[in-house]
Chains A and B, each alone.
Chain A
Amino acid sequence: MNREVIARLRQVLEPPDVVEDETELLVYECDGLPLFKNRPDVVVFPRTTEQVAQVVRIANEFRIPFLPRGAGTGLSGGALAVEGGIVIELQPMNRILSIDVENRIAVVQPGVVNLHISQAAAPHGLYYAPDPSSQMSCSIGGNVAENSGGPHCLKYGMTTNHILAIEAVTATGEIIRLGNAAGEPIGMDLLGAIVGSEGTFAIVTEITIRLLPKPQAVKTLLAAFHSVEKCSQTVSDVIAAGIVPAALEMVDAKTIEAVEASVYKAGYPRDAVAALLIEVDGFREGLEETSSAIVEICRRNEAYDIRVAKDDDERAKLWLGRKGAFGAMGRLAPDMITMDAVIPRTRLPEVLVAIDRMSERYGLGVANVFHAGDGNLHPLILFDSRYPDQVDKIFAMSEDIMKLCVDVGGSLSGEHGIGYEKKDFMDLVFSDSELGTMMRVKQFFNPDGLLNPNKIFPSRRGCTEIGKHSTTSTAEIGKRVEAVLLGTPQTRSASAIARSLNEKVQH
């Protein structure tokens, strides 16, 4: 990194907040998706919005790519540094600025850990609803960037439904404020467009969020099935009965095997082919009856073991298995990747069968643990990264899974985002013309493409393998793809992009 840049960064930040020591940088070479690694040149730790803006202005002045990062728990490589550049680590901005109990809102900095908000609000009987599995460590700023989900999104909505206003630093270093504490959209919803833009539109530096009153009562139950079909049918039947569960989660036999062999042992029936974890919450009155109605639906679908948690301890135990499932996979294989895809929930049985067949074909274990209620799949592919052929198979298999989900009317991601991982699958869902519209909006927010480059948009398979052995700089590739997507319909074809890229590569 240019010494002048480092000197300038040290002028606006405390010197220890500018880190360029190679071993320290190792921590920042990937996020929660370690399949891709790229070490940044420098990591900065701003403490104020103004400092973030100054860093962004310096990066602009020297044309250096930069990106925000929270806790680094993202699973799509959204916080992967690209070709060096500056990582703006927002964890030091971790204060809960205010909790307005009467109006049920909180103002927080982006580095605040998701769960800490609910903990701080708990004495007032309030909580923050979106609960990604990583909620004990993920940051709210990252949640806003990714529009994160979680099991309880089924009833309460995604992050975007809970963000009322933001302060943000634009890609060119201006400080803007959007939205209002009443959450009332005024004209076109720019705030709504920024939430979920995966850190490519702006860096969010302050967030006003909606808090909800804690439900009076919660009921959690586990139902075990001998068949995936019956288990899936139960999901459909619960929805068809007009019940709006707070969460409706499915785990398969492989997941149960891993969980029961691990420290997350939750007493799930070991012989089950699939099991559902169902939670309903709300007013105390009527909840018992709703829970009984669900038990009845499970029975009708031949659930052979149904356990209704009697108290909070039993509830916590049932959830332990679900929430610990990812960690427990270490019992089955040294490495795992968490896929994320979404399908219409009515297509669950056939898709699960197809994934099972793929698992056999590729010789890679797959465990399924997912948000069945909204059709949000999480196949966990088990592998051993010491065998390069297994890594290659992972890429091939994840592509097959994506194609399968898109073919049944689904989409690439329900909650993890596209990031770096899935950008080359975007053209399974969107035409070049549609990507062109998205690119236009990206260029509007991020005119020079310096903010979090090479995410979301396809670099076109076969042309590039960034992070492995690229021959063209990623920035160059990004520019070329942009030019083609924004061009006339005649020049927008995939083959035109491939041609354009190949020309460059040969130089």
Chain B
Amino acid sequence: MTALSPRRRGPFHRQRGAWWLFLLPSGVVLTGVMLFPLGYAFWLSLHNYDLGSGSRDFIGLGNYAELLGDERFWNTLLRTVAIVMTAVSLEFCLGLMVAYGLYRLTFGVRVLNLLMFLPNIVTPVVAALFLRWIFIGRWGLVSGLLISWGIFPPDFLGDPVWARVTVVLADAWQFTPFMILVLYAGLNTVDQSQIEAAQIDGAGVWTLLFHIMLPSIRPLIVFVLAIRLMDAFRFFDTLYVLTAGGPGTATETITLYTYALAFRLLQVGKACALGVLTLVCVAMLVAVMIRVVYRREKGAF
């Protein structure tokens, strides 16, 4: 931005210090289409805004007070946390085992890795339909097979407990491949000399994994867990198609509840307040996880 510009043909053609201009277009879009709507949502959350009738009154923190005093909010939050925690733990354990298996395998790794990755990039709505045809009562693949083996199948999507199991399995089906991919990439970065030294000391397969490899990719593990937790917390597509929160509210997560408030009951103000509360929950989660990494690994990035 100093006057070192021999040819003045607009800001981009200055010689030095013009790097920040490259950030401008993206910055304008992010400010206008992301930060501004976010601020607007916060503003709306302070109103009793009914989209159907169009009535809109400023009520301060009224929506928040109402939500925090509402049993349905707490139930939904607890249910979401339970589903997310179960799903992500399952994905991590399974993902680690498969990634380590791939790491030790000496042939066919690339083909397997590619094939097992498909569920993760299939359109989530389509993935949910595929799963519906597996789990739906009577005609689904699982029920059909169980019936043909003479076992009376539970109603996987209609029974509250089984529906929650199915939802966790659905999430695991879609996102274990992501865990595998990241953890496999991580395992491959572990220092080879360290592994050889441990093997000479007679470390077994599992000692090697848990005492040598996992500690050295700890920052990556925390990071991928954080990403998965946050993504799982806001996940919507699969649930919307697979169970739509049902039966009753057995699988209704906080995102589905927000959607229902805003677009079915048209209580936009209250829905925005719920969205802000979700953001606060997620931010707290991230803050805790980042602290966990940074306390020990200064400069992990």
Chains A and B form a bound pair: no
Residues of B within 8 A of A (CB): none
Q: Which of A's residues lie within 8 Å of B, judged by CB? A: none
